[in-house]
A and B are shown apart, each in its own frame.
Chain A
Amino acid sequence: MEQKQISARERNTKLFNRRLLVSTVIVLILIAVLVLRLCYLQIIQHSTFTTLSNKNQVTLLPLPPNRGVIYDRNGIVIAENLPVFSLELIPDKVKDLNQTITQLKTIIDISPEDIEQFNKQVKQHRRFDSVPLKIKLTDDEISRFYVNQYQFPGVFIKAQLMRYYPLGPSLVDVVGYVGRINERELGQINQANYAATNFIGKLGIEAKYEEQLHGKVGYQEVETDASGRIVRVLKRINPTPGNNLHLSVDSRLQIAAKKALGDIYGAVVAIQPKTGEILAMASNPSYDPNMFVKGMSTEEYNAIRNAPGKPLYNRSLRGQYPFGSTIKPFLALEALNSGTIDTKFKIRDPGYFSLPGSSHVYRDWRKGGHGTVNVSRAVTISCDTFFYTIGVKMGISHISAILNDFGFGELTGVDLVEELPGLVPTPKWKKARRGQSWYPGDTVISAIGQGYMLTTPLQLANGTAILSMRGHGYKPHFLVKWQDDQGKYHDNPPIPLMPVKVDPEYWDVVIDAMHGVVMPGGTAAAFGQTPYKVAGKTGTAQVFSTHGRGAGKNLPKHLRDNTLFIAFAPMDDPQIAVAVIVENSHDAKFVARKVFDAYFNEEEKDEAKSSDSVQSAN
C-alpha cells in the first residue's frame, strides 16, 4: 500500500516534471516568437515605421512674413503692423458650432455681424482650418476667455499682426489698403509664399508693391501631438520680412490738401518737378482704409460705396475731367514752337469766334471780348477767342501732339494700380470710337479744353511739372527708396521723361504769362500775394451748359461748373507743381493756395529750425 502510494507519488512527480519541461519549452518558444516579432518590427520594418512616426508628429507650419512698413518722405509711418488678438475656431474640433458660439457670447461680445462673417468664412475654409469669429479682442475679453478656455475645445485666441493705417482716410488715396485674399487673387499668387498670409494689397501702394511688401514665407517644422497641438519646434526657417517702403508723399502736405478741399469733392495732386516725386495726392471725399482691413459686412460696404461723393472713387487717378482753360499754356507753347504764331501775333477779340463760312458762334467767357490780345496776354486773361483762333490755325494734330508730349492721354505710369489714361482725341479716334468724322468745330472747342479731351488730376499735375521744368520732366512716382530685410537702403532713382523740345524763349513767354495769371489783372488774381513766385493757370469746365456765358452760380450745386487750377512755385526754381480740380465749385485756386502755403510754410519752418540750430551751434 505504502509502496503503491510512493510509486503513485513518483509517477505524479514524473508526470509533473515532464509537463513542466514541456511548459519550459513552450515558454522559450513563445519568448522566441516575441523576439522574432520585435526583430521584424524594429529591424526589418524599422524604416517604414520611422517614416510613419515622423509623419505622425512633424508638421510643416508656414510662418507669415511681416509686411513691410510704409513711411512718408519725412519718415512718418503711414502703414504698419499692429498685434491683434482674434478669437478663432476650428470647426472640425468644435462639436456644436451654434451652441459653442452661444456659450462664447456669454463671455465675449459677439455681434450678429461677426457671426454672419464667421459663417461665411466657415464655408470658404477647410474644416480643420481655424476661422476667426471675432477680430480685435479687448484685454478684458482675452482674460475672460483664458479663464474659461477649458470649456471650449477647438476655440483659441490667435495673435497676429494686422495692417494699420495710422493716418486713416488722409492717405488712403496713395497707400490703398490690404484686405483678405479672395478667390480670384488666390489663383494669381504664389500660394506657397502666401501659405501663412491672410491679407494682400488690394489698392494703391499696397497693391502695386505687394511683392516687395509681402516678403517671403518662413517655415517651422513642429512636432505636434495627436490632437494637433504644437509640442515643440524642431526647425525654423524664419520668414523674410517684406521691404520697408519710403514714399515721396508728404503726409503733412497731404493732410493740408485734404483740409484745403474741406467738403468740396475734388482732387489735389502735388509733384516735385525735379524728381517726379509725388508730394501729395488727395481725393475728396475719402474713407478709412482700416475698415477694409477689419472686414465689412455687405451693408457697411454698400454704405461706403454709395455715400455722397462716392468716397471709394479715387478722383486723382481715376477722375477724368475736361481740361478747361488749363490746356491753354500747353497750346500756346505748341502754337509758338510750331511757328503757327509768333510772340507778336495779335488778335482783336470781339468776344466770339466763328469758323470761316459758318455762322456758328463760339463765345469768349467774357462778353464783349478782351480787345487786342497777344499770346502772353491770352494766357494771363485766358482769352478763349485767341485760342479758338490759334487752335484752328494749327489744327487738331498739333493739339494732340503737344498734349501727348506732356503726358496726357496715356497712363503716366505712376506706381499705383488703378490709373486711368484720360483722353486726347484725334480724328482717327473719333472715327473709331464714335463713328463720326472730325469736324472743324471739334478743333475749336478742343482749343479751350472742352469737347472730348479728358485729363486726370495726376496727369494735369504731371503736365504742369514738365512745364515748370521747361520740358525736362520726370516720371511721377511715389517710391523714393526701400529698405530690404538686411536693413540696406535702395534708391528708386527718378526716371527722366522724354524732354519736350521747345525754344527756350517760348518757355519764358508762357511761364511769364502764367505768372501774370496770379497777379492783379490775371484770372487768378484772387490767388493773392505770396512770398514765393507762382506761375499758374485757371480752368473752368462746364458741367451743365447755360447756353451763353455765366458762372452759373444760381444753378443747383451739382450742376455748377468744375474749376481747375494748375500752378508751380517758385517760378524760377520749381519745387512744387500742383493741379487742383474741384467739382461744382469755384475754389480751385484757393485750394491750391492753401497747398502752396502749407508746403512753403513747412519749408520755411524747417529752414528756420535748421538755421536756429546752426546759430546756436555757433
Chain B
Amino acid sequence: MKLNPAILFKAPISQSERMMQMKRTLSERIHVDFFLLFALLALTALGLIVLYSASNGDTMLVLRQVARLAIAFVVMIIVAQISPEKMRLWIPWIYLLGVILLVAVLVMGDIGKGAQRWLDLGVIRFQPSEIMKLAIPIFMAWYFADKELPPSVLDLIICAAIIAVPVLLTAKQPDLGTALMLAGTGAWVLFLAGMRWRYILLLAFLAAAAMPALWFMMHGYQRQRVLTFLNPESDPLGAGYHIIQSKIAIGSGGVFGKGWLNGTQSHLNFLPEHATDFIFAVLGEELGLVGAIVLLALVLVIMLRGLYISAQAQDTFTRLVAGSLILTFFLSVFINIGMVTGLLPVVGVPLPLFSYGGTSMVTLMASFGVLMSIHTHRRLVAK
C-alpha cells in the first residue's frame, strides 16, 4: 500500500496531536496525578492528626504545619508543570548550584541545632542539602540518559563522584542522616540503571569488611565520637534515652493504641522530639499497630503508584528519575520508622509528611511533583 508521505508524516501526526489534545484527561492537562495526590493527602491528614496530639493540642503549631504543607503542595503542582525535558536541560546547573550552596553553608552557615545546615537568605532559611535530594538523582539520570546500560566502570566512578561531593559536604555539616539519604538516593539510581550485581556485591562486601576493621582500629573515645556522630540530635548522655522511650511508647500502644491524645509517653514529655523525628512513636502509642499499618499501607499505595509511574515512563532519564525519587521517599520512611522502632541507629531523618518541619517536606513534595510531571507529560508514541 502506497501512502502519501504528506499524510504519513503530516496528517497523522497533526491528527494524533489533535486526538491527543482532545483525549487529554484533566490529569494530563493540569499535570496532576490524582491517584498520587489523594494518597498523599490521606497520608498528610493522618500526619496532621498525629501531629496535633504530638504537639499537645498546639493548634498554632498544627496551623503552621498546614501552611507548610500547603506551600509544599503548591510547589509540587508547580514542579509538575515543568516538563521533564526542561528539567533535563536545567539539572546540571541546579546540581552545580546545590554544591556551591553546600560549600557556602560550610563557610558561613548559620548555626541551627548545633549543626551548620541552614542558609539564611534573609526571608527564608533553608538547607541546601535538601536541594541535593532532588539534584543528585536527576543529575545522575541526566548522565545516564543517552548511555547504554548497564553502566560501565567509568560511569560508576563518575557517578561515585557526583554522589560523593554533596554527600561529603553534607556529612561535614555534620548531618549524617541527610548525607546517608543522599547516598541512598544515588545508590538507587545506580541500582535502577542496572549496575551489575557483581559490582553491587563487591561494594557491599567491601563496606561490610571495612566497617568492623575501622571499628576495631578506633579507640573507645573515637567510637563514642562515632556514636555521637551517628546521633547528633541528642546529647551524648541521653543517647540511649530517645530510643528506649520511643520503644516504650510504641510497645505500650499495643494493637489498638492508647487512643488519640491519650499517649502518656509523648504527652508527658518522656518521648523526646515527639513532634519531629520521633512522631511515629506517637502514632504507635496512640493509634497502635492498626494505626501504624494504616500508615504503612498508605506508604505502600504511594510506592506502588510511584513504581507504576516509573515503569510507565518513556525514556531512561524519566524512568531513572521517577524510580529513584519514589524509592528515596520509601528509604526515608523506612529509615525513620526503623530508627524509631530501634532497628536502625538514631540518625536525624524525619518521617515524610508527618514530622513537623519545613524544608524536607517541600523537597519531598517537589519530588512528587517531578513524578507527576513525568507521568502527565508522556507523549503518545508508538511502541
Point out residues on A near B: beta carbons under 8 Å: 8-9, 11-13, 15-20, 22-24, 27-28, 30-31, 33-35, 37-39, 41-43, 45-46, 48-50, 52-54, 56-57, 223-227, 231
Q: How far is it, in angstroms, between the C-alpha of A145 and the C-alpha of B248 when the chains are bound? A: 37
Cα distance, A54 to B247, chains bound together (Å): 14
A46-B303 in contact given A8-B148, A12-B148 (Cβ < 8 Å): no
B:114-160 near A, CB below 8 Å:
148-150
Q: How far is the CA of A223 from the CA of B267 in the complex (A)?
A: 10
Question: Quick one: given A20-B311, A50-B251, are A37 and B296 in contact (CB under 8 Å)?
Answer: no
Q: Chain B contacts of A13 at CB under 8 A?
A: 319
Give the shortest distance, in Å, between B195 (CB) and chain A (any CB): 9
Task: Pick the residue among A45, A50, A231 that contacts B268 (CB under 8 A).
Answer: A231
B189-208 contacts to A, CB under 8 A, are 191-194
**Using Cβ atoms and an 8 Å threshold, which residues of chain A touch B194?**
12, 15-16, 18-19
Q: Which of B82-90, B252-260, B355-363 contacts A (4 or more CB under 8 A)?
A: B252-260
Residue in contact with A16 in the complex, picked from B247, B249, B303, B323, CB distance below 8 Å? B323
Q: How far is the CA of A299 from the CA of B303 in the complex (A)?
A: 79
Q: Are A33 and B268 in contact (CB under 8 A)?
A: no
Closest CB in chain B relative to A85 CB, distance in Å: 27
B189 → A minimal CB distance (Å)? 10
Docked-complex contact B254 and A34, CB < 8 angstroms: no
Instruction: Evaluate whether A33 and B192 lie within 8 angstroms (CB atoms) in the complex, with A12-B149, A57-B270 already known.
Output: no
Q: A46-B254, A50-B251 are in contact. List 5 more A-B contacts (CB 8 A).
A: A18-B194, A24-B303, A31-B299, A34-B334, A53-B248
Q: Are A49 and B247 in contact (CB under 8 A)?
A: yes
**Could you give 16 example pairs across A and B, Cβ below 8 Å?**
A8-B148, A12-B149, A16-B316, A20-B307, A22-B191, A23-B192, A27-B303, A27-B330, A30-B334, A34-B296, A37-B342, A38-B293, A41-B247, A46-B251, A56-B265, A226-B270
Smallest Cβ-Cβ distance to A10: which chain B residue: B383
B194-237 near A? 1/0 per residue, CB < 8 Å: 10000000000000000000000000000000000000000000
Q: Does B41 contact A (CB under 8 A)?
A: no
Cβ A11 vs Cβ B334 within 8 A: no
From B254, B320, B341, contact of A43 by CB (8 A): B254
Grouping DSSP codes into helix (H, G, I), strand (E, B) and loop, the B interface class, with mixed when no group exceeds half, is: helix
Task: Determine if B251 and A45 form an interchain contact, defined as CB atoms under 8 angstroms apart.
Answer: yes
Determine the chain B residues whose CB is within 8 A of the CB of A27 once the complex forms: 300, 303, 307, 327, 330
For B341, what are the chain A residues with a Cβ–Cβ distance below 8 Å?
34, 37-38, 41
A-B contacts at CB below 8 angstroms, number: 142
B51 in contact (CB, < 8 A): no
Contacting residues, chain B, for A19 (C-beta < 8 A) = 191-194, 323
Footprint of A on B, CB under 8 Å?
148-150, 188, 191-194, 245, 247-255, 264-265, 267-270, 284, 288-289, 292-293, 296, 299-300, 303-304, 307, 310-311, 316, 319-320, 323, 327, 330, 334, 337-338, 341-343
Given contacts A39-B289, A226-B270, are A16 and B192 in contact (CB under 8 A)? yes
Q: Are the C-beta atoms of B307 and A24 separated by less than 8 Å?
A: yes
Task: Report yes or no: A226 in contact with B268, Cβ–Cβ below 8 A.
Answer: yes
Q: Which 6 A-B pairs have the closest CB atoms?
A: A49-B251, A53-B252, A225-B268, A15-B194, A49-B252, A41-B251
**Assembly CA distance A224 to B264 (angstroms):** 9
Which interface residue of B188, B264, B303, B327 has the most chain A CB atoms within 10 A? Answer: B264
CA distance A20 to B303 in the complex (A): 12
Q: Which residues of A lie under 8 Å from residue B270 when comparing CB positions?
A: 56-57, 225-226
